[in-house]
Amino acid sequence: MEISSLTNKFIPAKPASKEAEKPLPAAENKIGNTDNKTSSKAAANYFKAAQSINFGGTSGFKIKKLEDVPCPCCGLIMLTPDSTKKHVNRLNMAKGNKLADRIEQEEEPVFRSNERACAMMAAKTARGTDMNLMQAINKANENLPANFNNICTDVLLNASVYCEENFGENSEIFKFLMSKTDNFNQNNDFYRPNLTEELAKFKNTIPEDKYNALEDMIMKMPLDYKSVEKVMKTIVGKSPTIIAQTLYAPSLATAEHVHPHSLGGKNTAANFLSECAGCNNPRSSMSYLEWLKIHPEFSRNPQVYIEHVEGRIVNGELPDSYYSYPVDIKETLTSESEGHINLKVLDKDKLIELRNAKKAGQEVDIHAETEKSEETEKTEEE
Ligand SMILES: [Zn+2]
């Protein structure tokens, strides 16, 4: 297969660890009640029996109200209700090439896997026409199996190009991905966790950062054909606004109970991760060991998340009560994952010290501070 022609549209994924080094955006702690379920239930209770409204629990978890927090599971940037509106407006008015460009070049990083597939199909369908989002989705749905194959093959090809550029055309990993690309015509059998499990055999054969970048690329693939079909069924025939809202819904930040609520997990910050709806909802009460089979990148993204949150604490974007959050969430995650996820975190004293340094105008590098504190701990143990 000719792959060199695809190189120009290939954008390599950034290694996840770089996320923590980015300058943090200004605080935009837009309040507003982002917890629709809790609020509507509370309101219903109020009207039923004049009970006191309790907006506690997840609605009080501040991190999910911050803009630009990376999801600790998939690692993608999460949206708030306000930012979702802006994204929806960017798609519901666009047509033809403008719609295609917006989806492929600007919005693509925000979509989660299954919705990404639907959006990318719409982009390909709209290009060179004057179709709006509704027309493009309706048209793409007419030939869903073939379109599904195209979207999956595109991701596999990009991953193959990445391997060819980094490890050469004789590398086993390149040959593996090319054979997956060439033989991709099995839309009803494809199940992404089977592919990531096969990919994991190459984990120790290439540098860690490159493996992670590759895994992130593969995670752009939809979970399976059925999941994409389900999203398409929900949006086909709907208005562009409803379609766009549905496509962005999984990108919204929610509060994930690390120890599931249904199993007695508490409504406290120490048991919460701010996680996108696309990762939170399907997990339900699944154990983290099962979950890691579906989302292998969850083994590394909580570290990116916590360093980002620590940056927000040091910047003064979260209340002082969050000083102990990193240590608390580390404990909860270690216990819930049976030791498979071990965060490196900064303790309360260190965060206060860094917060004061920041206030005094000093630059603070959370990632470097974390590495330093790990070193000190190791030395002290020895
Ligand atoms: Zn996520």
Q: Ligand 1 centre from 278 Cα, in Å? A: 6
Higher pLDDT, 364 or 43: 364
Q: Ligand 1 centre from 349 Cα, in Å? A: 30
Backbone phi, psi, residue 256, to 5°: -95, 130
Q: Ligand 1 centre from 111 Cα, in Å? A: 10
Q: Ligand 1 centre from 131 Cα, in Å? A: 30
Q: Is the pLDDT of residue 209 over 70?
A: yes
Find the range with the poorest average confidence among 27-36, 202-211, 234-243, 348-357. 27-36
Contact between 108 and 199 under an 8 Å Cβ cutoff? The reply is no
Q: Ligand 1 centre from 113 Cα, in Å? A: 10
Higher pLDDT, 48 or 346: 346
Q: One-letter amino acid identity for 47?
A: F
Q: Ligand 1 centre from 136 Cα, in Å? A: 26
pTM score over 0.85 = no
Q: Ligand 1 centre from 72 Cα, in Å? A: 7
CA distance 306 to 366: 10
Find the range with the poorest average confidence among 1-10, 248-257, 330-339. 1-10
Higher pLDDT, 95 or 268: 95
What digits encode the pLDDT tens for the residues 327-374? Answer: 999 999 999 999 999 999 999 999 999 999 999 999 999 999 999 988
Q: How many Cβ atoms sit within 10 Å of the Cβ of residue 174?
A: 21
Residues 6+ apart with CB under 8 A from 43: 53
Three-state DSSP state, 219: coil
